[in-house]
Structure 1
Amino acid sequence: MVHFTDPVHGSGEEEETIEIIINIIDMNDNEPVFEQTSYVGEVAESSPKGTTVIRVKATDADEPGYYYSIVKYTILSQEPKLPSDHMFVINTVNGAIMVEDAGLDRETYPEYTLEIQAADLRGEGLTGKTKVVLKVTDSNDNAPVFTESTYRGSVDENAVGVQVVKLSVTDKDEQNTPAWNAKFKIISGDPEKLFSIETGSNKQEGIIKTAQGLDFEKSRTHTLSVIVENDVPFAIQMTTSTATVVVTVKDINEPPVFKDQQMFVQKPEELPVNSVITNCEAKDPDFAHKNTVKYKIGSDPAGWLNVDENTGLVTVKRLMDRESAFVKNDTYTALIIAYEDGVVPATGTGTLSITLEDVNDNPPFIEERNITVCRDDSTPVLLTVTDKDGPRHSAPYNVMVHEISKPNWSVQMNRDKTGVELVLNSNVLSGTYPVILRVSDTDGLEQDYSIQAEVCNCVENERVCAPLRNSLGVVQGVVGGILLLSGLYYCT
Structure 2
Amino acid sequence: MSCIFRSTTKQGKYHLPQKVQWNDPGAHYSLVNKERLPQFPFSIDQEGNIYVTQPLDREEKDAHVFLAIAKDETGKLLSKPLEIRVKVIDINDNPPTCLSAVTTFEVQENEPVGNSLGIFTAHDMDEPNTANSILKYKLVDQTPKVPSDGLFLIQEYEGKVQLAKHSLKKQNNPQYNLTVEVSDQDFKTLCLVQVNVIDINDQIPIFERSDYGSKTLPEDTAVGSTILVIQATDADEPFTGSSKIIYKIVQGDTGGRLEVVTDPQTNAGYVKIKKPLDFETEPFTSIVFKAENPEPLVAKVDYNASSYASFNLTVTDVNEAPEFPQQIFQAKVSEDVAVGTKLGSVSARDPEGLAVSYSLRGDNRGWLKIDSITGEIFSTAPLDRETESLYRVQVVATEAGGSSLSSTAHFHLALTDVNDNPPRLAKDYTGLFFCHPLSGTGSLIFEATDDDQQSFRNPQFTFALGRESLRNDWEVSKINGTHARLSTKHTRFEERVYEILILINDGGRPPMEGTVSLSVTFCQCVEGSCFRPVGKREGIPTVGMAVGILLTTFLVIGIVLAVVFIRMRKDKAENPQSPEARPLRS
What interval of TM-score do these two structures reach, taking the shorter chain for normalisation? Answer: 0.5 to 0.7
- Segments of 5+ residues of structure 2 without an aligned counterpart are 1-106, 114-145, 152-168, 174-197, 537-586
Q: Deviations over 1:396-415 (max 9, x none)?
A: 4333323375554322333x
Aligned-partner Cα distance in 2 for 1:209–1:231:
21
Residue 262 of structure 2 corresponds to which residue in structure 1?
199
Superposed, 1:348-387 pairs within 5 Å as 348-370=407-429, 372-374=432-434, 375-376=438-439, 378=441, 380-387=443-450
Residue 383 of structure 2 corresponds to which residue in structure 1?
320
Q: Does 1:332 align with 2:391?
A: yes
2:528 aligned to which of 466, 469, 487: 466
Q: Does 1:280 align with 2:346?
A: yes
Does the Cα contact within 8 Å between 2:424 and 2:514 map onto a contact in 1?
A: yes
TM-score w.r.t. length of structure 2: 0.49
3-state SS in 1 of match to 2:516:
strand
Shift of 1:146: 1.5
Shift of 1:308: 3.3
Shift of 1:437: 1.9
3-state SS in 1 of match to 2:456:
helix
Aligned-partner Cα distance in 2 for 1:239–1:273:
71
Q: Deviations over 1:210-268 (max 9, x none)?
A: 33344432322343332224565667936451112433334333332346755444433
Residue 440 of structure 1 corresponds to which residue in structure 2?
505
Residue 488 of structure 2 corresponds to which residue in structure 1?
424
Q: Does 1:392 align with 2:456?
A: yes
Aligned-partner Cα distance in 2 for 1:273–1:49:
87
Shift of 1:381: 2.4
Does the Cα contact within 8 Å between 1:378 and 1:423 map onto a contact in 2?
A: yes
Residue 320 of structure 2 corresponds to which residue in structure 1?
254
Aligned-partner Cα distance in 2 for 1:402–1:233:
92
Shift of 1:315: 2.6
Residue 73 of structure 1 corresponds to which residue in structure 2?
none
Does the Cα contact within 8 Å between 2:441 and 2:490 map onto a contact in 1?
A: no
Does the Cα contact within 8 Å between 1:402 and 1:437 map onto a contact in 2?
A: yes
Distance 1:369 1:179, change over 3 A: closer
Distance 1:438 1:231, change over 3 A: closer
Does the Cα contact within 8 Å between 2:440 and 2:490 map onto a contact in 1?
A: no
C-alpha RMSD of matched pairs (Å): 4.6
Distance 1:238 1:366, change over 3 A: closer
Does the Cα contact within 8 Å between 1:368 and 1:451 map onto a contact in 2?
A: no
Instruction: In structure 2, give the amino acid aligned to 1:292.
Output: A
Instruction: In structure 1, give the amino acid aligned to 2:461.
Output: Y
2:359 aligned to which of 296, 319, 340: 296
Instruction: In structure 2, give the amino acid aligned to 1:445.
Output: M
Residue 82 of structure 1 corresponds to which residue in structure 2?
none
Instruction: In structure 2, give the amino acid aligned to 1:150.
Output: D
Distance 1:369 1:407, change over 3 A: farther
Q: Deviations over 1:248-298 (max 9, x none)?
A: 3343333323467554444332334444434433332324xxx32111113
> Between Structure 1 and Structure 2, how many residues are aligned?
352
Superposed, 1:43-192 pairs within 5 Å as 143-151=204-212, 152-157=214-219, 160-171=223-234, 181-191=244-254
Does the Cα contact within 8 Å between 1:369 and 1:451 map onto a contact in 2?
A: no
Determine which structure has greater relative contact order: mean sequence separation of CA pairs < 8 Å that are 6+ residues apart, divided by chain length.
1
Aligned-partner Cα distance in 2 for 1:280–1:139:
60
Shift of 1:378: 4.0
Distance 1:214 1:456, change over 3 A: farther
Distance 1:179 1:266, change over 3 A: closer
- Segments of 5+ residues of structure 1 without an aligned counterpart are 1-43, 51-88, 97-103, 112-136, 460-464, 469-475, 483-492
Does the Cα contact within 8 Å between 2:463 and 2:478 map onto a contact in 1?
A: yes
Q: Deviations over 1:16-53 (max 9, x none)?
A: xxxxxxxxxxxxxxxxxxxxxxxxxxxx9x78999xxx
Q: Deviations over 1:351-379 (max 9, x none)?
A: 33334343333111112322645444646
Aligned-partner Cα distance in 2 for 1:412–1:402:
13
Q: Deviations over 1:414-472 (max 9, x none)?
A: 3x44332211234335665433223233244333222233446889xxxxx7157xxxx
Residue 47 of structure 2 corresponds to which residue in structure 1?
none
Shift of 1:340: 1.0
Residue 29 of structure 1 corresponds to which residue in structure 2?
none
Aligned-partner Cα distance in 2 for 1:350–1:221:
31
Distance 1:248 1:105, change over 3 A: farther
Instruction: In structure 2, give the amino acid aligned to 1:237.
Output: V
Aligned-partner Cα distance in 2 for 1:436–1:343:
68
Does the Cα contact within 8 Å between 1:457 and 1:466 map onto a contact in 2?
A: no
Instruction: In structure 2, give the amino acid aligned to 1:249.
Output: V
3-state SS in 1 of match to 2:229:
strand
Does the Cα contact within 8 Å between 1:364 and 1:394 map onto a contact in 2?
A: no
Q: Does 1:411 align with 2:411?
A: no
Does the Cα contact within 8 Å between 1:373 and 1:381 map onto a contact in 2?
A: no
Instruction: In structure 2, give the amino acid aligned to 1:284.
Output: D
